[in-house]
Structure 1
Amino acid sequence: MEALAVRLSGLDPYVDGAIRIVAFYDTLMRRRVDLPALARASAGLAECVAGIRLHGTGRVIRVAADGRAAADPSSGPSSPAPAFTTVPITLDEEEIGTVWLERPGAPNQLDEVLLERLALATATAVERYGPARTTMADPALVELVISADSDEAARARALRLLGFTPGRPVQVLAVRSRLPLDRIAGLVCPGSTVKAAPLAGVGAVLATTVDRTRFPEGVRAGIGSAESPDRSWRQARTAVRFTTPRRPVVHHDDLGAVALLARVGDQALRDNTDIAAIARIAGNPEDLETLDAYCATGSLRRAAELLHLHHSSVARRLEQIAKSLGIELTEHTGLVRASLALTAWRLIHDDDIF
């Protein structure tokens, strides 16, 4: 093989340079260098600023050709911006970051080769020095973690393989969305280990921390407690069934006794007269939205504010809805009945959300 490489390099200077770059990075990988060392070596080889960025952690490494940390170009005197040549870093078929060169002037013809090898070496280093920063995981491993049938030894081993620290609490989320699951998981679990996999039409996300304020629009999510992964998964699947457009993210602990509705069979719910009455008005989106706003606020004026309508218009609608339901909505017990019936009706139709 070495003899063939020598013969090829003699035919074309480009091939000679490419072979030398490949050999350069092969040596770095054999020496098991870390990310800063990779960036320094790349900057020295390219004779310009080299950069590495990991999406999962937001970590950025920029090194100048002399091996020092590169100054932010935006903080210096006004000058033409360097040309960037970028290549994605992929691990397990997922893009986990990018590498680039900041070369003044036109790119070198070997820059692409250098960056491809840098990207490969970076992915190898990420996998070697700690949990892989990929978000998507093997569904079989995730299922082993959250299954009630798994023994604790198998669960602990699966968590280690996924990159979680032994003994550290893990929360499980059940997610419904048309957005990519890895993007959602990365947004709501910034700077911490997070793994996700699609399971039976629902996205399962395992995380050590969750920021409930970072869910993007169009996502429904249920969050379980951090007691045990299998219990957390059951709770998350229950909680996601209680999500609504006004309440797209629900923590199981916040449901309290209402969570017991999820244990009632669908047929028993359909047979209830209050729920059957909700089903009759469900064909009118305006009525359903008005009732939802009133149940959510318990106030005619606050419901009107939510709906951006005059309170007299909302009052007329509620009067008609009350007649259709056969429930006196202005009374406390009537409001409770309507709220429970609306929630139960949604549980029956929770599969129709997406």
Structure 2
Amino acid sequence: MEGLLLRLSSLDADAENAVRVIGFFDRLIASRASLDAIVRKASGLAECPLGVSSSTRGLQVGGPIPVHATRRELEDGTVVWLARAGKPLPLDDMVLERFSIAVALSLELSRVPLPALGDPALVELALSDSAGEAERSRALHLLELKPTTPLRVLAVKGTPTGLSAALGPLHAVLATNEIPDQDGEVGISTQVPAINAPAAWAEARTALRFASVGHPAVRADDLGSQIALASLPGEEIAKLPDVIALDGLDPQLLTVLTALASTGSNRKAAAAIHRHHSTIPARIAQAEAALGFPIDTPEGRFRLHLALVLRHLRDN
């Protein structure tokens, strides 16, 4: 039936095509399609956005309701909408009517006991990229968050503080206002609407890869174009001559170079690692001989910094 429909724009508002629209939604209902699937497939049929919104359920699928959208309200106050930018099509009213029926039945079937879940399980569901938008909306609602609430996600290596869940070797923390201090290294996502928490969680984990003992908290906002380096495969980074050269240096010399790259001056580097500044030039000369390029020029400092960052990403 779905294959026969093609696109709504190709259908006239006659009885035969109305029956085909009804059959399209009946098939979705019979297959017990998820709310996300209903919204996605109905939007494909209509060739325009459709969505569902319920403040009482904490539900939002398809994004915020556009100002120009045509709306229908279900008995429980849930709003379904169709937002066509241009002139309405003859079957738009029929689509919205059948869409509202499919949504109402889906909401009845999807009443799982989420309230019995504890906060960690709800946090995990809100961060899950495999969960549907409807499931994430309901989890956020039970955490007293709206889908549009501005949110940052933290990826924490140590003991977490705040609304959190253990996900593999890390802890995820949801922060809506001030970012709580964390124990150990932490990556902090950019601020996003709470419904986009899965993407923020991925971003936080990427930011965490840049963290170190000397720089334990890293914001994705502050990484700029450096964040693109995280997409490079570790095995490719390991082949780079500058990284190979760094691997051959002793740990103390690497400490000096890391301090020099982060501070930009011999005196500041010496102070950061509690050495006398007079010892730094000799260490720089030793490093230059091993690396094969000068590091007392802007270009050399940049090359050193890039190699150190890449080496760190390879190992994290």
Among candidates 287, 300, 303, match of residue 266 of structure 2:
300
CA apart distance, 1:166: 4.7
Is the Cα–Cα contact under 8 Å of residues 239 and 251 in structure 1 kept in the other structure?
Answer: yes
* Residues 97-246 of structure 1: pairs in structure 2 closer than 5 A: 137-138=120-121, 141-177=122-158, 180-181=159-160, 185-186=161-162, 195-211=163-179, 214-216=181-183, 219-227=184-192, 228-246=196-214
Equivalent position of 1:290 in the other structure? 256
Is the Cα–Cα contact under 8 Å of residues 243 and 310 in structure 2 kept in the other structure?
Answer: yes
Q: What residue identity is the alignment partner of 1:269?
A: I
CA distance in 2, matches of 1:264, 1:166: 32
Unaligned runs of 5+ residues in structure 1 are 1-130, 187-194
Q: With the length of structure 1 as denominator, give the TM-score of the two structures.
A: 0.53
1:217-242 CA-partner distances (Å, limit 9, x unpaired): xx100000122212211110000000
CA apart distance, 1:269: 0.3
1:342 and 2:308 aligned: yes
1:73-132 CA-partner distances (Å, limit 9, x unpaired): xxxxxxxxxxxxxxxxxxxxxxxxxxxxxxxxxxxxxxxxxxxxxxxxxxxxxxxxxx99
Size of the aligned set, in residue pairs, is: 198
Is the Cα–Cα contact under 8 Å of residues 187 and 206 in structure 2 kept in the other structure?
Answer: yes
Q: What residue identity is the alignment partner of 1:324?
A: A
SS of 1:173 mapped into structure 2: strand
Query: What is the CA RMSD across the aligned residues, in angstroms?
Result: 2.0
CA distance in 2, matches of 1:288, 1:209: 38
Is the Cα–Cα contact under 8 Å of residues 171 and 225 in structure 1 kept in the other structure?
Answer: yes
SS of 1:254 mapped into structure 2: helix
CA distance in 1, matches of 2:293, 2:142: 55
CA distance in 1, matches of 2:286, 2:270: 16
Is the Cα–Cα contact under 8 Å of residues 137 and 146 in structure 2 kept in the other structure?
Answer: no
CA distance in 2, matches of 1:232, 1:198: 16
Is the Cα–Cα contact under 8 Å of residues 146 and 230 in structure 1 kept in the other structure?
Answer: yes
Q: What residue identity is the alignment partner of 1:259?
A: I
Among candidates 247, 262, 271, match of residue 239 of structure 2:
271
Q: What residue identity is the alignment partner of 2:255?
A: E
1:168-205 CA-partner distances (Å, limit 9, x unpaired): 1221110012xx33xxx14xxxxxxxx21111211111
1:307-346 CA-partner distances (Å, limit 9, x unpaired): 2222120111111112111121001111111111111111
CA distance in 2, matches of 1:336, 1:166: 41
CA distance in 2, matches of 1:305, 1:252: 28
Q: What residue identity is the alignment partner of 1:294?
A: L
Equivalent position of 1:117 in the other structure? none
CA apart distance, 1:146: 1.7
The share of aligned pairs that are identical, in percent, is 36
SS of 1:337 mapped into structure 2: helix
Q: What residue identity is the alignment partner of 1:345?
A: R
CA distance in 2, matches of 1:344, 1:312: 29
Equivalent position of 1:257 in the other structure? 225
CA apart distance, 1:215: 3.4
CA distance in 2, matches of 1:261, 1:296: 18
Q: What residue identity is the alignment partner of 1:313?
A: T
Equivalent position of 1:50 in the other structure? none
CA distance in 2, matches of 1:137, 1:215: 17
Unaligned runs of 5+ residues in structure 2 are 1-114
Q: What residue identity is the alignment partner of 1:323?
A: A
CA apart distance, 1:165: 4.0
Equivalent position of 2:67 in the other structure? none
Q: With the length of structure 2 as denominator, give the TM-score of the two structures.
A: 0.59
SS of 2:123 mapped into structure 1: helix
Is the Cα–Cα contact under 8 Å of residues 176 and 203 in structure 1 kept in the other structure?
Answer: yes
1:133-182 CA-partner distances (Å, limit 9, x unpaired): x8x612xx3332123333322111111223324531221110012xx33x
